[in-house]
Amino acid sequence: MAAGIPARLLPAGLRRRLGRARLRDPAYGFLFEPGPENEAVSFDCETTGLDPRRDDIVALAALRIRGNRLLTSERFQAVVRPQAAMARQAIRVHGLREADVVEGRRIEDVVPEFLRFVGGRTLVGYYLEFDVRMIDKTLRPLLGIGLPNPCVEVSALYYDRKYGDAPAGATIDLSFAAILRDLDIPALDRHDAFNDALMTAMMYLKLRDLKDRGIRIRRDGHPADRHMPMG
């Protein structure tokens, strides 16, 4: 059933059932169990280029989010030896040269570890779809499925907090730098997979909190009630 329809367009419950049915290796059934309550995983990949069909992962990092804690002490980090040649453009972005990744591990070994780290937790990322597709590329031949986890896109949370009530025609900036600035999150060296995952996780916590408290980000750059006295 549903042949030809990309799984990600199906309702989440249906997608999970479908995925579970397609799963080749029952040892990975944990992916379909709900993760520990209140936990999520922020993750980021660095790649040889921007085409998921041709390019490969060279670095993968993830960290768990438990409640309002970022468990940086339990991080997942791996350097991967890619099969695709490194695009010069990509080297300039993440600074990993061929020589740096030649000692890396095989993606087929890294992804199962990554899956165990993630379990059934929600995934958090920035332009997450790209990273998920990069993982799925390895996952499908291995298990017959893509990542079944629920996903939270921080740029979407940000859009909602900042531009959800914007008049039509407003200039919209969803860049990583703009989000960092608006949320006053420390700007770490970018395009290091772990730093990116960490900054993304901080964005997630803050955006989730702003949403809980019903606070919008002013389009001149600050959360709207920043200067209100607090109770």
Q: Which parts of this chain interact with another protein (CB under 8 A)?
A: 68-73, 184-186, 188-189, 192, 194-195, 198, 202, 205-206, 209, 213, 223, 226, 230-231
Is the Cβ of residue 133 or residue 211 nearer to another protein in the bound state? 211
CB 68, min distance to another protein, A: 4
Q: How many CB atoms lie within 10 A of CB 83?
A: 10
CB contact set of 66 (below 8 Å; sequence gap of 6+): 36, 38, 39
Is the Cβ of residue 66 or residue 105 nearer to another protein in the bound state? 66
CA distances to 43, 178, 197, 221 from 162, rounded to whole Å, are 23, 11, 22, 9
Dist. CA 182–CA 203, nearest whole Å: 10
CB 72, min distance to another protein, A: 5
Which spans in 23-94 are helix H? 88-94
Is the Cβ of residue 8 or residue 75 nearer to another protein in the bound state? 75
Instruction: Kindly state the tokens that stand for 199.
Output: 């900054």
CB 10, min distance to another protein, A: 33
Is the Cβ of residue 123 or residue 198 nearer to another protein in the bound state? 198
CB 162, min distance to another protein, A: 15
